[in-house]
Structure 1
Amino acid sequence: MSSVTTVDSIESNGTESKERVELPPLKGAALAMLTVATALATFMEVLDTTIANVAVPTIAGSMGVSANEGTSIISSYSLAAAIAVPLTGWLSRRVGEVRLLILSVTLFTLFSVLCGLATNYNMLVAFRLMQGLVSGPMVPLGQAIMMNSYPPAKRGMAMAFWAMTVVIAPVVGPVMGGYITENFSWPWIFYINVPIGAFCVYSISTLLKGRDTEVSYEPIDALGLVFLVLGVGSLQYMLEHANDLGWFQSNEVVTLSIIAVIGLTFLVVWEWYDKHPVVDVRLIKNRNFAIGTALQTIGFTVFFGNMVVMPLWLQTVMGYDSFHSGLAVSPVAMFSIFFSPVIGMNMHKVDLRYLVLTGFGLFAFGAWYSSLLTPDASMNQIMLGRFLFGLGIPFFFIPLSGIIMQGLEGEAITAAAGFSNFLRTLGGAIGTAVFVTLWSRRTTFHHARLVEDLHPGNPMYDQYMLQLTQRGLNEAQRYNALNGIVNQQAGTMATLDVLYLTAGLFVMLMFCVFLAKPVKGAVASGGH
């Protein structure tokens, strides 16, 4: 973080002036405390993207709305956050990085409390919308402040701690949300943010007092802001509802897609030439930023899509409840928790491209291993597959952050963090929409293919129906039992298709890594 502050001084002629004083960088316990505080702020924001998912039926029921209406609790948050994230660079220049982070965390905590206190559904959706809006800067600022607070030689450790929170929080969210909902009451999924938020605000404001970045009162790029809201808002809303609406068979999806394309196209063109852009799209002129961000976005799209489909399969096909399905996929983060610091401490010794290559390879291997699962797979077998898939996480997020930030310094780090995190979040939304649709359609396809062979005269069909008859089942019960088995087989086969696709895409990404320039260690500069 900036180690320069401004103090009042008195000139010899008696006039007051401003003098810039160099502050020593944070070290030891102070730096460790700042790391914990910024990591927790990031963790809290990312956690809230998934912790409410499993509680939607409970919340909807308690407020007298349908489960479909209840999904607005999720979509309102993600829609507002998607718009706010890319504004981080511009807002930090207007407000200051430290002040903006403290303000974001404070308001996020306040709206978390209001979400828990909401007495009707419309109030809850409104507070979730505001919670998402103020949360936008928290993740990119957490990354930027960590990087700017560590010396260049130890910046890899900063990225390791940041990456751990980004990866672990979405995995922990459904498990924690399911446990809290079942054992307490749904408002507590929001109230748990209060002690975390209070600790973060106190720690950051105390440790970074007098270390804020300089404020520049740039004019508001109103037209760029309009294009951003139209383009990103339409795209995010379309992605969240496209599967339910039938994708491009729906006029609503087609209209939203057209608005998104027009808005984003005009946004890029306008921001490229504007002197004070709300989103600095000119960062893509930096080769490693462009390649690194593209790999991170595509990789996270595939990773997150896979992470969404697995619990869906476990709950709808394998009969797991929300808590146990979350528990079954949770080992994906275990390796990252313990090995991320090792990667961070040693990434300055190797070309980061080889670490990313290793990460993509491990993702591909883990997806392939999970594709060996069968409908009678035990929970331990599923957890092992998820653990192996998670081996690639520390080799993916941490080194790619180094590639993305290579050669950037000062305010450019904050702008790059906002831009890259926006695309990463968008990748997650695309992965969810596309992979869930793919899984649903492949399930329907396999179901139809399996049913083709189920008819009288087929020896296996006749033998199975005879067994059910001998057990005393009537005709309707026999067909229901048979349909249940077909559904389970079709859902499992669709899941395997997704895993095959995941493995194949990660193998393809392995060959794209070397489009980036060689990078040894976290070499971004952090001075202001």
Structure 2
Amino acid sequence: MKQESDTSFQGPMLWMTALVLTAGNFVAILDSTIANVSVAHIAGALGASNSQGTWVITSYAVAEAITVPLTGWLTRRFGTVRVFRYALIAFGIGSAMCGLAHSLGFLIFSRVLQGFAGGPLMPLSLTLLLRIFPKNKAATANGLWATTTLVAPVVGPILGGWLCDEYTWPWIFYINVPIAIICGLILTMVFRHQKEEQQKHPIDKIGLLLLVIWVSALQIMMDEGKDKDWFASNYIITLAIIAAIGFAAFMIWEITQKKDPIVNLSVFRHRGFSASVLTLSLAFAAFFGINVLTPLWLQTNMAYTATWAGLATAWTGVSALIIAPFVGALSARVDGRKLVFFGVLWMGAVTFIRSFLNTDVDFWTISIPLLVMGFGLPFFMIPISAQAMMSVEPHEMDSAAGLMNFLRTLSGAFATSLVNTVWENQTHYKHEQLSVLIDSSGTYFRSLTESGIDTEVARGIIDQITTSQSVMLATNDIMLYSSVAFTIAAFAIWLGPSTRKH
């Protein structure tokens, strides 16, 4: 079922409000990736190691992951518009504090504040878009939201790399401040005459505590696992146990908490919502994983700068933007499951093609498949959000949007850790295999030494070639695994019913 639309929004007012809402969603998602390529700059400026610098990413992800599923309770308690407006203002304040930080500790504290504020912006931007657009333009609302959700993670590394290369790292946070202030003021004026019902719901303290415990433990485990050699570390084992026990306790408590649960898990009773979220989690994990891997591979093994690595991956967002309006219009007439199936399979097919690259690839050989892949993204993201939100009751939409975004965020974090670990392990494995095969007769080594190159330098040259090929093969393996995940996700959407009205 659809949320009732607000008929007071028409013409320029409708589109101005929609722009403000999508801007809020954009900056929240942008900041989940904008610091990814900036860790080295930040750590160096604040006198920290790169390992410590990754907490700039982790702290935001943990805070955001905690508040996203709380969206339903917050809106019932304080009202949807009020929560969105204050979250946007707090996000701007947190961004300014990040830019002004002169120590890693204060920066992490500021990122936590920023993450807490950014969490509700994602689901509530969708809820409010569906509220202000007429029912017959719900597909347009979903399209706007899905497009910003798709483009922001792609733009983040590009913008972050460019700002760090050309200016200084604080600007990756300062750019949010004017957006948050302007959009917050506009929302205050636009919604000033609207009254929202506020219910005095008591907070589910035990549910909130359990949520904080298991989400924090899981997120930290996934972020730190690779550096700590995963379950060879007692630290990681302890975090895994805490996360598992905390999750089990949280599920039992929330399912049995009939009155005012902190997270409304009952929305999963809707088959359409469950199938959509399953598809979203699998496909977004595959997409986000390769989106993290590609610039990392380009920078560490293909000698690309942060800016050029970002530019190579940007083409996905360009093609997604071009095709999004068409898909938005099409989704109002076609069964969303067919569109999602096509879009996810398309992404899987392009990813499969990408699993056959070699070290001689140039910029356009990398970028063109990403450009082609972008044409499938709107077919996936626009209908999937509509399928999920149309499957629940109107009063459940805030909770459903929060849970959907929570699982999307969590799947992205899980994919990042998994991809980094598998990539590194596969690189070592391929290196061991190739070391036996490359120049097994010693012909190349002898030609190098006979040409006057020092013995150790010659060995280093051969090892460098072996490493380069190992990384390429490991990268291709990740692409192949991701294409399988896309295929499974494409078929998962058929577990849900059609939500199209005849």
Q: Quick one: which of 205, 209, 212 aligns to 2:188?
A: 205
Aligned pair 1:267/2:267, yes or no? no
Residue identity matched to 2:170: P
1:212 Cα deviation from its structure 2 partner: 4.7
Distance change in 2, residues 1:24/1:499 (3 Å): closer
Cα distance in 1 for partners of 2:3, 2:347 equals: 37
Aligned partner of 2:350 in structure 1 is 366
Aligned partner of 2:105 in structure 1 is 122
Aligned partner of 2:13 in structure 1 is 30
1:511 Cα deviation from its structure 2 partner: 2.4
Aligned partner of 2:479 in structure 1 is 499
Identity of aligned residues (%): 35
Distance change in 2, residues 1:44/1:351 (3 Å): same
Tell me if structure 2 keeps the 8 A contact 1:231–1:263.
yes
Q: Which runs of 5+ in 1 are unaligned?
A: 5-22, 524-528
Aligned pair 1:40/2:20, yes or no? no
Aligned pair 1:438/2:431, yes or no? no
Which residues in structure 2 correspond to 1:283-362 (within 5 Å)?
283-362=267-346
Aligned partner of 1:108 in structure 2 is 91
Distance change in 2, residues 1:289/1:180 (3 Å): same
Rg larger in structure: 1
Cα distance in 2 for partners of 1:175, 1:510 equals: 29
Q: Quick one: which of 203, 208, 214 aligns to 1:231?
A: 214
1:380 Cα deviation from its structure 2 partner: 0.6
Cα distance in 2 for partners of 1:199, 1:212 equals: 22
Residue identity matched to 1:215: Q
Distance change in 2, residues 1:328/1:3 (3 Å): closer
Cα distance in 1 for partners of 2:104, 2:345 equals: 45
Cα distance in 1 for partners of 2:53, 2:240 equals: 24
Tell me if structure 2 keeps the 8 A contact 1:332–1:386.
yes
Cα distance in 2 for partners of 1:215, 1:31 equals: 25
1:136 aligned counterpart, secondary structure: helix
Tell me if structure 2 keeps the 8 A contact 1:54–1:178.
yes
Residue identity matched to 1:392: G
Tell me if structure 2 keeps the 8 A contact 1:2–1:149.
no
TM-score by length of 1: 0.92
Q: Quick one: which of 488, 494, 499 aligns to 1:508?
A: 488
Tell me if structure 2 keeps the 8 A contact 1:366–1:390.
no
Tell me if structure 2 keeps the 8 A contact 1:235–1:256.
yes
Tell me if structure 2 keeps the 8 A contact 1:51–1:174.
yes
Tell me if structure 2 keeps the 8 A contact 1:2–1:212.
no
1:242 Cα deviation from its structure 2 partner: 1.0
Greater CA drift, 380-389 or 407-416 = 407-416
Aligned pair 1:487/2:467, yes or no? yes
Cα distance in 2 for partners of 1:163, 1:501 equals: 25
Q: Quick one: which of 207, 212, 215 aligns to 2:198?
A: 215
Q: Kindly tell me the number of residue pairs found equivalent between the two proteins.
A: 500
1:413 Cα deviation from its structure 2 partner: 1.0
1:209 Cα deviation from its structure 2 partner: 2.1
Residue identity matched to 1:489: Q
For the aligned residue pairs, the C-alpha RMSD in angstroms reads 1.7
Cα distance in 2 for partners of 1:518, 1:186 equals: 47
Tell me if structure 2 keeps the 8 A contact 1:336–1:390.
yes
Cα distance in 2 for partners of 1:421, 1:112 equals: 21
Residue identity matched to 2:347: F
1:159 Cα deviation from its structure 2 partner: 0.8
Aligned partner of 2:403 in structure 1 is 419
Residue identity matched to 2:260: H
Distance change in 2, residues 1:3/1:213 (3 Å): farther
Cα distance in 1 for partners of 2:481, 2:34 equals: 27
Tell me if structure 2 keeps the 8 A contact 1:3–1:24.
no
Aligned pair 1:520/2:500, yes or no? yes
Aligned pair 1:49/2:29, yes or no? no
Q: Deviations over 1:181-240 (max 9, x none)?
A: 111111111111111112211222222223353110111111111110111111111111
1:2 Cα deviation from its structure 2 partner: 9.0
Residue identity matched to 1:249: A
Cα distance in 2 for partners of 1:2, 1:254 equals: 44
Tell me if structure 1 keeps the 8 A contact 2:98–2:107.
yes
Cα distance in 2 for partners of 1:454, 1:369 equals: 26
Aligned pair 1:69/2:52, yes or no? yes
Cα distance in 2 for partners of 1:334, 1:236 equals: 31
Cα distance in 2 for partners of 1:497, 1:268 equals: 35
Greater CA drift, 265-274 or 467-476 = 467-476
Aligned partner of 1:250 in structure 2 is 233
Q: Which runs of 5+ in 2 are unaligned?
A: none
1:465 Cα deviation from its structure 2 partner: 1.9
Distance change in 2, residues 1:441/1:3 (3 Å): closer
Q: Quick one: which of 469, 485, 491 aligns to 2:449?
A: 469
1:408 Cα deviation from its structure 2 partner: 2.7
Tell me if structure 1 keeps the 8 A contact 2:3–2:130.
no
Which residues in structure 2 correspond to 1:85-164 (within 5 Å)?
85-164=68-147
TM-score by length of 2: 0.96
Aligned pair 1:187/2:170, yes or no? yes
Tell me if structure 2 keeps the 8 A contact 1:140–1:418.
yes
